[in-house]
Amino acid sequence: MLKPTPTTMLTGQFIAQLSVIPMIMYATSWQWIICIIMYFGIMTFGITMGYHRYWSHRYFTCSKFWEYVMLFFAHIMMVGPAIAWVAQHIEHHKFVDSPRDPHSPSHKGYLYCYFLQSLRAPRIKYAHHLLRDRTCKIQFDYYWEFIILWGIILVVLDPYALIYAWLAPAGLAKIIGSFIFTYGHHSGRPHNNTLLGLLTSGEGFHQVHHQHEDRVQWGKLDIGGQIIRRIGNVT
């Protein structure tokens, strides 16, 4: 089994971000359409709804179908398995904007929070509720095997699909999403940004999230929260 490590995750993210260059240079219009659809699938279902609001905060329940959809899109972004991502996020909320916050720009620096925060090994104890989740355990144990399988499927369909249907949207999601770690917490406190909120399906409304941690929806323009209310049961 190829276990995910901070180094392998950073390498995967770096490759994904570099893939945006050939995407800009050579992609056709219909490839850009697929890329944008996959980007919003990753950002909306994978990160905003899945890793963040479903597995981290347990704001809602849903069918296994939607759980698998969210896990798939989060998985192919290559930001780590749910257990690791959730552990770091819960630790972030526990020590928000303090020296013990795993990605506070005021204490760790903007360069670290934007590019290198994945190098910090998560403290799994903060995701103890997922250690009993069979789906999340399988995802953790076979993380890179699933990634390789997805790559093989795309190569069979169209070798260039590796870029427009996976790496480029994953890279764009990382490039844009990382502003949550920096701008979302600059000057030692959380901030809102409408444009970032729209591009991240709600994550940019970060001040609302931290001020009202019990809310599943963080405003009328919070796309992720709107979808959750339609497909899930809010707890």
pLDDT tens-digit map of 187-217 = 888 999 999 999 999 999 999 999 998 899 9
Whether the CB-CB separation of 51 and 74 falls below 8 Å is answered with yes
* Domain assignment of residue 1, yes or no: no
Q: Report the domain count for the chain.
A: 1
* Domain assignment of residue 162, yes or no: yes
Rounded Cα distance, 182 and 117, in Å: 11
Whether the CB-CB separation of 196 and 184 falls below 8 Å is answered with yes
pLDDT at 157: 96
pLDDT at 108: 87
Question: Higher model confidence: residue 46 or residue 186?
Answer: 46
pLDDT (average), residues 54-80: 96
* Domain assignment of residue 185, yes or no: yes
Rounded Cα distance, 38 and 147, in Å: 15
pLDDT at 222: 96
Q: Single out the residue of 198, 235, 233, 234 nearest to residue 219, CA to CA.
A: 198
Tens-place pLDDT, residues 60-72? 999 999 999 999 9
pLDDT confidence of 3, banded at 50, 70, 90?
Answer: confident
Rounded Cα distance, 133 and 127, in Å: 10
Domain extent for 143: 6-120+130-234
pLDDT confidence of 142, banded at 50, 70, 90?
Answer: very high
* Domain assignment of residue 195, yes or no: yes
* Domain assignment of residue 205, yes or no: yes
* Domain assignment of residue 44, yes or no: yes
pLDDT (average), residues 63-92: 96
pLDDT confidence of 185, banded at 50, 70, 90?
Answer: confident
pTM equals 0.95
pLDDT confidence of 4, banded at 50, 70, 90?
Answer: confident
Rounded Cα distance, 38 and 173, in Å: 10
pLDDT at 119: 83
* Domain assignment of residue 125, yes or no: no
